[in-house]
Structure 1
């Protein structure tokens, strides 16, 4: 299977029976290459599996375009699954580049952990005690004390996920913004979040990490008992996603703003 200049293409599928059956159908009709040799990838599964595929690429340091086809539940980041005409669909797909968030967390014990997030980085209380967090932007303290269940930083692609459930705003794709959204804020009571230009750094300092421990989560990757967390957009590591022109990512996100 090829795209444009006969690019080698691989298929990856989630372990679910639904996705595995879809992969078997594709292998009956098309020739594919191993992931290590591919220049583009077809991912079969749900949104979670697509995020896992992109994270695997970031970890390997080798990124190539991904065309997802939905064999999961919601499939917000996926295209419709069809066997026929796949070569033509991938050839005519519209490419979007999503810059991930880079999270650098320092734990109470002094360990530094760097991870990436495509949807969001969230700070969450670990116990029944509320979290006390200082928030800064580009080194300037903007909230000396936020008392809450947590707080998150969401990309435009992730703004329709956990961020939206936390009453955060939906960000148009290409807006060059991230959403800073509190989770169940108690004080200040009227603060409901902020929109931050994506070229700024966002910092969090846990004010009482022993009595009120907090974990930091980059998509599904958790670091427990953090003391400080720095988040920024890493544009130089943008991830290319391929979409059918009639159902592209920017249109999906725009449509979500009017969902009821």
Structure 2
């Protein structure tokens, strides 16, 4: 199965940004995989690379890309919002995939996956989603996980500067959270009622995750249908879920869901 790297432009005028996509082709009669990364992560991360490798070895199409302001894509990270990254995700999905797809969303990518599902269902294209495989999913993280813990200094920075910075163990540069991200996040909340999926959902969640507590995954399950939902708790798993044993869980879950 061949892999190609391409750039597409999303948005017009001052909103235009170049999105870098790596697409591995697969048989047209088999479903494919779409990788949706997390906040400030990119498609060169361990989980995305291993998923793509596995897809190539097992004859599945796989599409991965970087949101604007991430990795190899253009655009200013500080302009990023859930709506903006959702628009890019839908554009990549429409341009590079055909037939049923398994959306694999990590952290914020889980939120993007749920919003994509809602948009595709609204447009009558729900059959394009084979299932959702969510790793440490962080839907509504701005309002539910970050806002309640904001310090007075962070609130002041949001008000005065429009953003605040926060140290992160995942890289040398601090995370940046903008007022626009929080405001837009409220408009994209999904855990406000039942989430009609119409497809299987499998969640992998570490119980030692310092960024997205496993209680958040339990709350998400409460908003999902009673059938076709599996939650796998990894007792010693962290937020990354990138250890060999975590990757094995990811690939086994993907194989099961693709096989139906």
Pairwise same-fold verdict (TM > 0.5): no
> Relative contact order (C-alpha < 8 Å, sep 6+): which is higher?
1
Larger strand proportion, structure 1 or 2?
1
TM-score class, shorter: under 0.3
Q: TM-score if structure 1 supplies the norm length?
A: 0.25
